[in-house]
Structure 1
């Protein structure tokens, strides 16, 4: 029996595929600083659990396929606090932001169609595209520019008549870049000229530092071509709750997305009730405190990485990721080596090779992504171990 080319062509997660090496290192007694996965270590707000406790039915039933109406109303109020006007009918609650991306791609592109993506990009975009038999057309951002949005000419090179949309995240996972008004406008203007959709992944919009403002896709005109993707996983430390949002002012898009939503029946009910309690009762300064905590962590990583001779990077201004080009020949082999052959007093580090965040073959081979999801003291220690590992690795 043969397996499908679809599954055979799908890559393993670059974030998780080196886990067996980490498991072996842990069994050998090594302590590992895990900086590879964007799993926040901050506590989930108590209001989420209190919302679940208030659930009164003795049956865990299917919700509406678009999500509880009360939750969509709460999301509508949340977006209005960002000056983004979505009514509940323009929102579909999804099973995580991942499902929102899959639904978006499947709605605007047929098998064989293509979607422009700014690389490096959230690695699962590639997996989702392969699942749907959609090809990604990369436009490369460079570490030397802080992974800024490429020029219009680069978008033109990537375009052909099979392209149906552009997808990007802002702030960026994996680079931490925060796109300013002119950068987002460059994307919007190009999409308008080519009459294609824009899918904006705004999962990290609360994570902006140094006075940088998040520029939403919804700040621009021509909203019928926009699809916004969101998730509560990061901002509320709710990764396992699996609640996301797909939103659009385009009524036809929302009507058609509902077919997919109905096919998977409903998003998880208990998580919806927990989130409803959270959105209605969250302490007003929670997000401010969280933003400060992650900026402090960013600063710690930046100071330590600045001491690595030959590293190429700019200070990231958002998300909780730090992408850097290292003075090593192959970052994936280097990471494996750190787990199998290197430690300082029984401690080592696990980061993500950035090559898996590219669609261009052999791109990003020297780059890594650091997820600063530990406290600042542990981050400093992990980065110092990383620095020593680079020196030792290059002397082999």
Structure 2
């Protein structure tokens, strides 16, 4: 029997965020006077719409607990919003959460017991692993590859990863970290697989609006079988209110939502003031989203065009969200990121990206891959990408020299 050493197994095995764990290296670089371009974290620099702050300023009364399901007016706004997307959720089928992260955690907890399996398409949003590990649930990967543009893996790959304890499939669309927007055929394949194997689908749709080149992100609610679909959503990126921590979980499955409500009651309620402010965001006109998407597409083009000519790089042009995943001509992307922060600068500047290894659970996968979040203005992005390209060139030379 393993001796208790003062920490739970959960505490010891919980993975550190691959997005945030290298921040101390960036902090040290800044202390040395180096300007660090942060392309490692999905924190947009676009302004939060003023209506959010105006509503908060108008708040009066008591900042008390709301209903554990959230303010009814906000749930009704979510319902109206979904119906504009032909997603038939009523306010009673929506629970407000502390960001999309809590929505995903609640969904996993509702359908899977400790020791059960949830399938993910890797590379995936890295915190899925942490959410599952905290609940004692296993993340079982189905791998997509950079060489294939990180497209949806074949149904045969899903079948090989299926176990008797598989309870759900979890994935984002549009994709984080790869910017993929899945086609209708790819999503129909997922639904058919879920139906045949009696699985739930946890569909992370937080980047729904952010698609490029005329593409549309289909919701998993577009394919029927509503009883097995759970939608995780968030206002963080849609309205640039990451700090507000306002998300939602929604499903037509009453048993699921009754279970989630008990979880919501256990954590009391989402932030009252943030919920109150968020109500006004749903009244923004269509131009808000057109301008936002136009800006991200412009930034996507800057990053792609700056990096596509790096010798040995493998990447595809992102179709949505604001991320680009790429395979670099380096042996270890985490060591490369550390080197960029500790040993490299150009004109007093360096660039920080996220190593992609932590976005996989298959050992040694993603070891030479990175994620870039194009969340800076175009001029800064152009400079950051040129510095990154120069860093890759210098790092490769240094490695070749050290082997002689």
* CA-CA distance at 1:314 after TM superposition: 1.1
For residue 332 of structure 1, what is the aligned residue in structure 2?
Answer: 334
Q: Select which of 1, 6, 10 maps to 2:10.
A: 6
Q: Corresponding residue for 1:393?
A: 395
The one-character-per-residue Cα deviations of 1:239-297 (angstroms, maximum 9, x if unpaired) are 000000000000111111100000001000000000012223x2431011000000000
In the other structure, the counterpart of 1:212 is 215
1:111 alignment partner in structure 2: 114
Runs of 4+ in 1 over 3 A off after TM superposition: none
Can you give the 5+ residue segments of structure 1 that lack an aligned partner in the other structure?
none
Alignment of 1:370-381 (within 5 A): 370-381=372-383
Q: Which residue of 1 aligns with 2:181?
A: 178
Question: Aligned pair 1:344/2:349, yes or no?
Answer: no
Question: Which runs of no fewer than 5 residues in structure 2 stay unpaired?
Answer: 399-404
In structure 1, distance between residues paired with 2:354 and 2:343: 17
Counterpart of 1:395 in 2: which secondary structure? helix
Which of 135, 138, 149 is matched with 1:135 structurally? Answer: 138
Preserved contact between residue 33 and residue 382 of structure 1 (Cα < 8 Å): yes
Q: Distance in 2 between matches of 1:115 and 1:229?
A: 15
CA distance in 2 between counterparts of 1:287 and 1:338 reads 35
| Contact 1:51 1:278 (C-alpha < 8 Å) held by counterparts | no
Structure 1 Cα separation of the partners of residues 70 and 290 of structure 2: 28
Alignment of 1:1-396 (within 5 A): 1-57=5-61, 59-280=62-283, 282-396=284-398
Query: Could you say what secondary structure the match of 2:315 adopts?
Result: coil
Aligned residues: 394
- Partners of 2:259 and 2:333 lie apart in 1 by 42
Task: Give the Å deviation of 1:377.
Answer: 1.0
1:82-141 Cα offsets, whole Å, 9 max, x none, are: 111100000000000000011000000000000000000000000001100100110001
TM-score of the aligned structures, taking structure 2 as reference length: 0.97
Determine if contact 1:22/1:339 at 8 Å carries over to the other structure.
yes
SS of residue matched to 1:349 = strand
Tell me the SS of whatever aligns to 1:105: helix
Report the 3-state secondary structure (helix = DSSP H, G, I; strand = E; otherwise coil) of the residue aligned with 2:286: coil
Whole-Å Cα distance in 1 between the matches of residues 255 and 39 of structure 2?
41
Q: Is the contact made by 1:76 and 1:86 (CA closer than 8 Å) also made in structure 2?
A: yes
1:12-61 per-residue CA deviation (whole Å, 9 max, x = no partner) reads: 1000000010000000000000000000100000010111122121x210
Question: What TM-score does the superposition give when structure 1 sets the normalisation length?
Answer: 0.99
Q: Distance in 2 between matches of 1:145 and 1:114?
A: 26
CA distance in 1: counterparts of 2:218 and 2:146, whole angstroms: 21
CA RMSD of aligned residues (A): 0.7
Aligned 8 A contact 2:239 2:281 in 1: no
